[in-house]
């Protein structure tokens, strides 16, 4: 029977680091979209306020 070498460590630290990096990358990608959306919402609110007055 053949045995396969495991080329990576199964430690909890590596898993936590991987999850942390994944979350950080996701937030880094979503931040510009969120800022643009907030600016868009603020402009819509400002325009609606000007129309009422």
pLDDT tens digits, 1-53: 556 555 665 677 888 888 999 999 999 999 999 999 999 999 988 887 776 55
The residues, any chain, with a CB within 8 Å of residue 8's CB and separated by 6 or more, are: 14
pLDDT at res. 48 = 76
Q: How far apart are CA 43 and CA 53, in angstroms?
A: 16
pLDDT at res. 22 = 95
Q: Total structural domains in the chain?
A: 1
Domain range spanning residue 37?
20-53
pLDDT at res. 13 = 82
Longest pairwise C-alpha distance within the chain: 82
- On whether residue 7 sits in a domain, the answer given is no
The predicted model scores a pTM of: 0.56
- On whether residue 33 sits in a domain, the answer given is yes
- On whether residue 26 sits in a domain, the answer given is yes
- On whether residue 10 sits in a domain, the answer given is no
- On whether residue 14 sits in a domain, the answer given is no
């Amino acid at each position: 029977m053949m045995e396969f070498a495991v080329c990576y460590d199964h430690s909890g630290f590596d898993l936590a680091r991987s999850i942390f990096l994944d979350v950080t990358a996701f937030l880094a990608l979503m931040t510009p979209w969120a800022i643009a959306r907030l600016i868009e919402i603020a402009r819509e609110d400002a325009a609606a306020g000007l129309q009422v007055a």
